[in-house]
């Protein structure tokens, strides 16, 4: 275990150095721990090693707190369970404190990059008054003003019940999910040379009038964060934008205006938090320990078995540890072609535009194909459970304080609520289908009655016809999935 690398293996130099080390040490396998970014580079590295005659097999294990390294093959990345439990512990404490001292609105921004999985899970764990998800905001094309009005409505409704306190959760990707903010950020990234020599006026002059107006509307601390604090590639550092302060500020202004016109008579005092680094590197939950351990064993088995460019997988994660099923999936099975992202994933699109912090990026510079991050599925069971429950949370103070991670006792092996609610049966369904095909084959062996054969033929012709039409249709939309 070499530790956390500062940067990804993507430059020619990195690849040459990696090749050399693999040869020098005669490595059978190189196991990378990471998310979609790591997986994307790993797939290309595997290819390059084969081309260079190196026999080291490249295997990825899905590890990331963000929760966006999942797909039909991979149910979760390890780290998500632990991070969500630590965040939920803190949110639970704040909610308890908040409804005890009854003085403040807490605006809490949660890590998680472009996707809102952490915010979703933490909301299901802690029952805040409001949770905003980037996918929801992007899907409904909510503007900044819409969001501020929604929040102000909640504050007013709660104030009518003499509750001038509450908890609002938001994901760090929110700011890039708000359409006009995404446009502004994109324009700023385009308007900045990246050489640190741009004046504020120069950058502003290069924006569209609309974005310039939005920029002037924003409070000065956000202006500073948008223009002055940049990543090494010159783009806006999303993690550094204090969306929680922005929303608290704008809600405060909206409420002041409502107060002036007699539509609000309560108090509003906000305290903002960013929960980021304090949950990463927590001692892992039992689930994450068991999961990472089994992924590691699967990775070793894959490398020893000669599989190259695979992601280790452990399925059936909802079940007791003893019922888990280890395996591997070729990375190419979960890759998309670059340039087709926008049509299929708004999260990936946002991240592609943004670039990303070293070590956990998504749409990767210069790669022809990559593993895309998964956003929260707005048709999924976890999101639907949130929608149903959130109606109750907003006025009834049904905060839940799940407490700290336990390593023994009745809750020690608890899974995330998201994992419990989501259906993960893609590969199980494939097995069921195989069994049904086998049964049809068995029923129609030579000697079977003619009527049986006719019905089977008729049925399968019709089915394959439908499938070929569906596949042609979906290929037009997304060639690799």
- Is 306 one of the binding residues for a second copy (CB under 8 A)? no
| Number of chain residues interacting with a second copy (CB under 8 A) | 35
Q: Which of residues 63-122 bind a second copy (CB under 8 A)?
A: 86, 89-90, 93-94, 96-98, 100-103, 106
- Is 197 one of the binding residues for a second copy (CB under 8 A)? no
CA distance 135 to 381: 15
Smallest gap from residue 38 Cβ to a second copy (A): 15
In sequence order, which ranges of 318-449 are alpha helices (DSSP H)?
341-344, 346-354, 381-396, 417-421, 426-443
Smallest gap from residue 184 Cβ to a second copy (A): 24
Q: Which is nearer to a second copy, 5 or 186 (CB)?
A: 5
- Is 253 one of the binding residues for a second copy (CB under 8 A)? no
- Is 200 one of the binding residues for a second copy (CB under 8 A)? no
CA distance 264 to 105: 16
Q: Which is nearer to a second copy, 277 or 446 (CB)?
A: 277
Active site residues: 66
Q: Which is nearer to a second copy, 63 or 375 (CB)?
A: 63
- Is 167 one of the binding residues for a second copy (CB under 8 A)? no
- Is 406 one of the binding residues for a second copy (CB under 8 A)? yes
Provide long-range contacts, Cβ within 8 A and 24+ apart, for 154-157. Answer: 154/129, 154/130, 154/394, 155/105, 155/251, 155/255, 155/264, 155/266, 155/268, 156/255, 156/258, 156/263, 156/264, 156/266, 157/394, 157/395
CA distance 284 to 65: 11
Asked whether the CA dihedral 469, 471, 472, 477 is positive or negative, the reply is positive
- Is 156 one of the binding residues for a second copy (CB under 8 A)? no
- Is 20 one of the binding residues for a second copy (CB under 8 A)? no
The two tokens of residue 61 are 């294990």
CA distance 481 to 471: 10
Q: Which of residues 384-403 bind a second copy (CB under 8 A)?
A: 401, 403
Contact segment (CB under 8 A) with a second copy among 120-128, 179-187, 281-289, 326-334 equals 281-289
The two tokens of residue 263 are 């539509």
Q: Which is nearer to a second copy, 407 or 426 (CB)?
A: 407
Q: How many residues does the chain have?
A: 481
Q: Which is nearer to a second copy, 401 or 420 (CB)?
A: 401
CA distance 363 to 367: 8
Question: Which stretch of DSSP H or E encloses residue 191?
Answer: helix 179-191
Of the candidates 150, 206, 142, the residue with the CA atom closest to the CA atom of residue 180:
142
Contact segment (CB under 8 A) with a second copy among 28-36, 40-48, 132-140, 279-287 equals 279-287
Smallest gap from residue 286 Cβ to a second copy (A): 12
- Is 279 one of the binding residues for a second copy (CB under 8 A)? yes
Q: Which is nearer to a second copy, 3 or 446 (CB)?
A: 3
Contact flags string 347-386 toward a second copy, x per CB under 8 A: ------------x---------------------------
What is the widest separation between alpha-carbon atoms in the chain? Answer: 87
Smallest gap from residue 70 Cβ to a second copy (A): 23
Q: Which of 6, 260, 391, 472 binds a second copy (CB under 8 A)?
A: 6
Q: What angle do CA 425, 302, 67 make, to 5 degrees?
A: 45
- Is 278 one of the binding residues for a second copy (CB under 8 A)? yes
- Is 292 one of the binding residues for a second copy (CB under 8 A)? no
Instruction: List, as one string, the DSSP characters of 88-153.
Output: HHHHHHHHHHHHHH---EEEEEE--TT--HHHHHHHHHH--SEE--HHHHHHTT--HHHHHHHHHH
Q: Phi, psi at residue 426, to the nearest 5°? A: -55, -55
Cα-based distances in Å from 198 to 184, 188, 205, 213, 216: 17, 11, 11, 19, 18
Instruction: List, as one string, the DSSP characters of 252-269.
Output: HHHHHHHHHTTS--S---
Contact segment (CB under 8 A) with a second copy among 258-266, 277-285, 307-315, 378-386 equals 277-285
Q: Which is nearer to a second copy, 165 or 307 (CB)?
A: 165
Instruction: List, as one string, the DSSP characters of 64-88.
Output: ESSS----SS----EEHHHHHHHHH
Smallest gap from residue 337 Cβ to a second copy (A): 32
Q: Which residue has the tokens 């404190």?
A: 97
- Is 153 one of the binding residues for a second copy (CB under 8 A)? no
Of the candidates 167, 150, 163, 40, the residue with the CA atom closest to the CA atom of residue 91:
167
Q: Which of 228, 253, 281, 437 binds a second copy (CB under 8 A)?
A: 281
Q: Which is nearer to a second copy, 77 or 144 (CB)?
A: 77
- Is 414 one of the binding residues for a second copy (CB under 8 A)? no
Q: Which of 366, 409, 447, 476 binds a second copy (CB under 8 A)?
A: 409
Q: Which positions lie near a second copy, rule CB under 8 A?
A: 3-4, 6, 86, 89-90, 93-94, 96-98, 100-103, 106, 271, 273, 275, 277-283, 359, 401, 403-409
């Amino acid at each position: 275990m070499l530790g956390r690398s500062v940067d990804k293996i993507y430059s020619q130099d990195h690849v040459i150095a990696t090749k050399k080390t693999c040869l020098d040490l005669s490595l059978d396998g190189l196991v990378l721990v990471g998310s979609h970014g790591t997986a994307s580079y790993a797939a290309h590295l595997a290819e390059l090693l084969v081309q260079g005659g190196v026999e080291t097999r490249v295997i990825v294990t899905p590890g990331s707190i963000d929760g966006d390294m999942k797909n039909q093959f991979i149910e979760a990345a390890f780290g998500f369970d632990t991070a969500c439990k630590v965040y939920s512990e803190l949110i639970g404490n704040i909610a308890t404190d908040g409804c005890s001292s009854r003085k403040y609105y807490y605006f809490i921004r949660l890590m998680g990059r472009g996707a809102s999985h952490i915010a979703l899970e933490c909301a299901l764990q802690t029952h805040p008054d409001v949770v905003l998800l980037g996918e929801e905001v992007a899907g409904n094309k909510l503007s900044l003003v819409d969001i501020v009005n929604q929040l102000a409505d909640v504050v007013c409704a709660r104030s009518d019940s003499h509750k001038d306190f509450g908890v609002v959760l938001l994901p760090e990707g929110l700011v890039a999910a708000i359409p006009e903010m995404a446009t502004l950020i994109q324009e700023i990234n385009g308007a900045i040379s990246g050489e640190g020599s741009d004046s504020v006026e120069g950058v502003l002059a290069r924006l569209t009038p609309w974005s310039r107006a939005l920029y002037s509307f924003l409070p000065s601390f956000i202006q500073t964060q948008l223009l002055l604090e940049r990543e090494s590639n010159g783009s806006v550092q999303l993690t550094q934008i204090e969306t929680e302060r922005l929303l608290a500020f704008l809600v405060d202004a909206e409420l002041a205006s409502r107060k002036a016109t007699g539509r609000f008579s309560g108090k509003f005092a906000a305290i903002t938090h960013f929960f980021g680094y304090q949950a990463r590197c927590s001692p892992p939950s039992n689930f994450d320990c068991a999961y990472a351990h089994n992924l590691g064993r699967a990775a070793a088995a894959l490398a020893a078995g000669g599989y190259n460019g695979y992601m280790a997988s452990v399925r059936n994660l909802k079940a007791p540890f003893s019922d888990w099923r280890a395996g591997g999936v070729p990375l190419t099975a979960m890759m998309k072609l670059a340039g087709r992202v926008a049509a299929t994933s708004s999260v990936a699109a946002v991240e592609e535009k943004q670039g990303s912090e070293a070590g956990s990026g998504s749409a990767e510079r210069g790669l022809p194909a990559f593993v895309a991050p998964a956003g929260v599925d707005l048709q999924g069971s976890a999101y639907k459970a949130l929608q149903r429950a959130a109606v109750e949370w907003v006025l009834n103070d049904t905060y839940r304080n799940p407490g700290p991670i336990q390593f023994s006792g009745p809750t020690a092996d608890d899974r995330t609520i998201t994992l419990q609610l989501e259906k993960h049966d893609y590969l199980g369904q494939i097995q069921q289908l195989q069994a049904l095909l086998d049964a049809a084959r068995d029923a129609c062996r030579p000697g079977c009655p003619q009527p049986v054969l006719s019905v089977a033929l008729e049925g399968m012709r019709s089915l394959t016809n439908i499938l070929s039409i569906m596949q042609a249709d979906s290929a037009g939309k997304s060639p690799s999935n």
